[in-house]
Amino acid sequence: MIVNISLPDNTKYDITIDTLKKQYFDRKVVIVTNPTVSSLHLDYLKEKISAKELSVVTVPDGEQYKNMETIEAILEHCFEHKLNRNSLLIAFGGGVIGDMTGFAASIYQRGIDFIQVPTTLLSQVDASVGGKTGVNNKYGKNLIGAFHQPIAVNIDPHFLTTLPKREFGAGIAEIVKMAVTFNKDFFQWLEKNNLNDEKNIKTAIAKSVETKAWVVSQDEKERGLRAALNYGHTFGHVIENETNYNTYLHGEAVGIGMVMANELAKKIGYMSEGETLRVKHLLEKYDIPTSYKIEDVEDFYEHFFLDKKSLDNRIKFIVPKGIGDCEITDLISKENVIEVLKGFSN
Amino acid sequence: MIVNISLPDNTKYDITIDTLKKQYFDRKVVIVTNPTVSSLHLDYLKEKISAKELSVVTVPDGEQYKNMETIEAILEHCFEHKLNRNSLLIAFGGGVIGDMTGFAASIYQRGIDFIQVPTTLLSQVDASVGGKTGVNNKYGKNLIGAFHQPIAVNIDPHFLTTLPKREFGAGIAEIVKMAVTFNKDFFQWLEKNNLNDEKNIKTAIAKSVETKAWVVSQDEKERGLRAALNYGHTFGHVIENETNYNTYLHGEAVGIGMVMANELAKKIGYMSEGETLRVKHLLEKYDIPTSYKIEDVEDFYEHFFLDKKSLDNRIKFIVPKGIGDCEITDLISKENVIEVLKGFSN
């Protein structure tokens, strides 16, 4: 299964959803991975990928290491191995590895090629497609980074066989996101089909990737439409930040964030009680958390302003309009938001 | 005088060579500068530029501070002042400030706008145009960076009135580079006219910028033609590196580098003795250094391989073909290069 993505500046690449094919690269290649993925799957990848000169750099596992120090470690490896402008990086891991490898590739000698080989469901359905790269810092998530498109995305469902259940759920959350914001039929299909089934998950990946590719083709740099993919993220980022990135997986925080966004949608009359419950039930079917206790409502609200989606003291919310459509708005009153947040504070 | 630059991906911007006009920006603006430029010209700039919210970040002066630490300091200022995706950076200084401001703008929240207001002759005629941004590290020059085009370049010859003579010469070196590689008529004009004259220098800036804009329009990412602008730089970078970036100004090292490249061109029959002397005399007319003592020829040669223009153990040299044309080649034998280097070792 191949999904093609084509951007206004003529950048094009293929997203292949299939067992990895054997490939030879007539250039220096560096695989960037973490210890977990490496111990489970590096041999599998190395059997498929060969190159003029191949090396591996392993960086610590986890969102808390998604920072400039790790980027410098990746770059250091590239310099030591004398990579040149024609060299290639392969991101082999989840969203964190993909975001960091892409960012390192974007600034090494003003930009070299990279390929995404995502190993988690979350990165397969969302993060690996679209060229957003970056790292976190003390001010928030992905605040330093670049738009740098991969030259290919190879999604091999094989890697999902070893994925912990929680990480699987985190991926489902992003699939649900695509459906709620853009595709009612897909949402209904998700309600009826079990994604633990191998054939179904492949279909769901393809559907999500198609949606993502379409959105990115319309609006690569997130001037408008693409912001809709941040549904659940405005709230989710604050939750991750409040819990020091060590309590929830990104997809889990987004799951809770979508439930919060839906409450806001309900408050302004965009969603019915029934629709918010359908989304919640779908998330709960895969044991994705849907509740969170806000300790300090005002403090939670203030956190929004550090999100880069907040232009000049206006917070941009993505609120669903029923299921399958959504609106990006910065016109929601603080009062309405605070009231919704209060609903999560008891 | 306005030169327009237009890239294949539809990016366009104006390079204005004239006294700065008053401008108001309805967004947050940060001026990035250094203490030297700030003490001489910040008041002048502030009188011309106003914004919704204006702040200034001052970073240490000099090539030795063109590194990731300074980038982090600029970004820190931007985060503290809560810049958003709609904010603007203004690079106010020479090439170092321009390269760093552009790089910071390229990675702050995945890329924000920036404007170049170059204050040195070198940055006015070359560095401020074309979107190359970056920093140095222990492996060499500009090895970490990005292609990120400014939204405008404002070249005000007023700033040249306070420019030290050596820095003026360093700028002339890059003007000579443009003429030798691409424009025989311009070279002859340079031989006949004194650039210390106000009218002449403005003409020379415009001519250089036109050449640069044309080259960048053809080949933004330096896949081919643009590499010609590295004439003198392959040698120059090694000289700068050997002298710890604290002996020669960049343009001075390029001046010496051009003399070395010309010797190489002479060796392979591309330039006559007379032509190499014409270039040398033009440089000497502005007291630009043209000699350098190489201590260890083999070591100097090895340094080439850390330059990012060296693909897989082949060094890319830019050798003039007479005056006004040049060739980019990686086919020059080590023996020929070593012999040329030996000519600089006594």
d(CA A79, CA A57): 12
**Residue A125 shares a structural domain with residue A192:** no
Closest by CA position to B106, among listed A111, A65, A229, A126: A111
Q: What is the count of structural domains for chain B?
A: 2
Instruction: Report the relative pairing of strands A49-58 and A23-33 from DSSP bridges.
Output: parallel
Q: Judge whether residue B311 has pLDDT over 80.
A: no
Q: Around Cβ B275, how many Cβ atoms within 10 Å?
A: 20
d(CA A12, CA A222): 18
Q: Inter-chain contact B79–A139, Cβ cutoff 8 Å?
A: yes
Mean pLDDT of chain A: 94
Residues in A closer than 8 angstroms to B86, CB to CB, are 311-312
- Domain encompassing residue A49: 2-161
Instruction: Report the relative pairing of strands B113-118 and B152-155 from DSSP bridges.
Output: parallel
Active site residue B212: yes
Burial class (CB in 10 A: 0-12, 13-18, 19+), B61: middle
DSSP B130: S
User: What's the CA dihedral at B216, B102, B2, B156 to 10 degrees?
Assistant: -130
Q: Inter-chain contact A110–B312, Cβ cutoff 8 Å?
A: no
Per-residue pLDDT, A275: 98
In angstroms, the Cα distances linking A138 to A9, A144, A245, A301 are 33, 11, 11, 17
Tokens of A124: 């397969």
The one catalytic residue among B142, B154, B183, B230: B230
**Residue B154 shares a structural domain with residue B173:** no
**Residue B150 shares a structural domain with residue B168:** no
Alpha-helical segments (H) within chain A: 35-48, 68-80, 95-107, 121-122, 165-182, 184-192, 198-218, 233-242, 250-267, 273-285, 297-303, 334-342
ipTM of the complex: 0.89
d(CA B85, CA A121): 30
> pLDDT band at A29, cuts 50/70/90?
very high
Closest by CA position to A94, among listed A191, A188, A166: A166
**Residue A224 shares a structural domain with residue A328:** yes
**Residue B281 shares a structural domain with residue B335:** yes
Per-residue pLDDT, A69: 97
Residue A98 near residue A118, CB atoms below 8 Å: yes
Q: Judge whether residue A132 has pLDDT over 60.
A: yes
Q: Which residue did the predictor score with more confidence, B305 or A107?
A: A107
Per-residue pLDDT, A141: 84
Q: Inter-chain contact B86–A312, Cβ cutoff 8 Å?
A: yes
Look up tokens 């982090």; give the residue: B72
Q: Judge whether residue B309 has pLDDT over 60.
A: no
Tokens of B338: 């070593």
**Residue A154 shares a structural domain with residue A184:** no
Look up tokens 């930009």; give the residue: A111
Residue A65, annotated as binding a ligand: yes
Residue A255 near residue A286, CB atoms below 8 Å: no
Q: How far does the CA of residue A273 sit from the closest CA of chain B (Å)?
A: 35
Tokens of B70: 């300074």
Q: Judge whether residue B24 has pLDDT over 90.
A: yes
Residues in A closer than 8 angstroms to B144, CB to CB, are 75, 107-109
The one catalytic residue among B10, B22, B82, B110: B110
> pLDDT band at B166, cuts 50/70/90?
very high
Average pLDDT (A153-172) is 95
DSSP B190-204: HHHS-TTSHHHHHHH
Residue B141, annotated as binding a ligand: yes
Average pLDDT (B321-339) is 95
CATH code, B99: 3.40.50.1970
Per-residue pLDDT, B62: 86
Average pLDDT (B135-143) is 90
User: What's the CA dihedral at A227, A232, A238, A244 to 10 degrees?
Assistant: -110
Per-residue pLDDT, A312: 58
Q: Judge whether residue B308 has pLDDT over 60.
A: no
d(CA A3, CA A213): 8
Q: How far does the CA of residue A154 sit from the closest CA of chain B (Å)?
A: 24
Q: Inter-chain contact A84–B139, Cβ cutoff 8 Å?
A: no
Average pLDDT (A121-144) is 93
Of A161, A196, A214, which closes a domain?
Answer: A161
Radius of gyration of chain A (CA): 20
Residue A221 near residue A147, CB atoms below 8 Å: yes
Q: Which residue did the predictor score with more confidence, A141 or A80?
A: A80
Sequence letter at residue B195: L
> pLDDT band at B195, cuts 50/70/90?
very high
Q: Inter-chain contact A134–B110, Cβ cutoff 8 Å?
A: yes
Instruction: Report the relative pairing of strands A326-329 and A317-320 from DSSP bridges.
Output: antiparallel
Digit-coded pLDDT (tens) for A290-313 = 999 999 999 999 988 866 555 456
Of A139, A161, A183, which closes a domain?
Answer: A161
Sequence letter at residue A267: K
Burial class (CB in 10 A: 0-12, 13-18, 19+), A258: buried
Longest dimension (CA), chain A: 60
Q: Around Cβ B293, how many Cβ atoms within 10 Å?
A: 7
Cβ neighbours of residue A127 closer than 8 Å, sequence gap 6 or more? A94, A95, A98, A99, A118
Residue A99, annotated as binding a ligand: yes
Q: Which of B72, B110, B139, B314 to mutate to test the interface with A (most CBs of A within 10 A)?
A: B110
CATH code, B312: 1.20.1090.10
Closest by CA position to B30, among listed B60, B56, B58: B56
**Residue A139 shares a structural domain with residue A208:** no
Per-residue pLDDT, A241: 87
Residues in B closer than 8 angstroms to A8, CB to CB, are 10
Average pLDDT (A143-160) is 96
**Residue B151 shares a structural domain with residue B178:** no
Q: Judge whether residue A255 has pLDDT over 70.
A: yes
Residue B236 near residue B256, CB atoms below 8 Å: yes
Mean pLDDT of chain B: 94
**Residue B208 shares a structural domain with residue B251:** yes
Cβ neighbours of residue B78 closer than 8 Å, sequence gap 6 or more? B30, B87, B89, B104, B108
Sequence letter at residue B39: S
Active site residue A110: yes
**Residue A197 shares a structural domain with residue A292:** yes
**Residue A182 shares a structural domain with residue A137:** no
Look up tokens 């014409």; give the residue: B278
Per-residue pLDDT, A298: 95
Per-residue pLDDT, B191: 97
> pLDDT band at B140, cuts 50/70/90?
confident
d(CA B198, CA B195): 7
**CA-based angle B292:B93:B217, to the nearest 5?**
80
Active site residue B27: no
Residues in B closer than 8 angstroms to A147, CB to CB, are 110-111
Q: How far does the CA of residue B119 sit from the closest CA of chain A (Å)?
A: 24
In angstroms, the Cα distances linking B165 to B42, B288, B326 are 21, 10, 29
Of B108, B137, B308, the CB nearest to A84: B308
Per-residue pLDDT, B312: 58
Radius of gyration of chain B (CA): 20
**Residue A189 shares a structural domain with residue A251:** yes
Average pLDDT (A105-129) is 96
Q: Around Cβ B225, how many Cβ atoms within 10 Å?
A: 15
Of A141, A161, A181, which closes a domain?
Answer: A161
Q: Which of B139, B144, B149 to mutate to test the interface with A (most CBs of A within 10 A)?
A: B144
Digit-coded pLDDT (tens) for B259-281 = 999 999 999 999 999 999 999 99
> pLDDT band at A284, cuts 50/70/90?
very high
Residue B204 near residue B326, CB atoms below 8 Å: no
Residue A128 near residue A150, CB atoms below 8 Å: yes
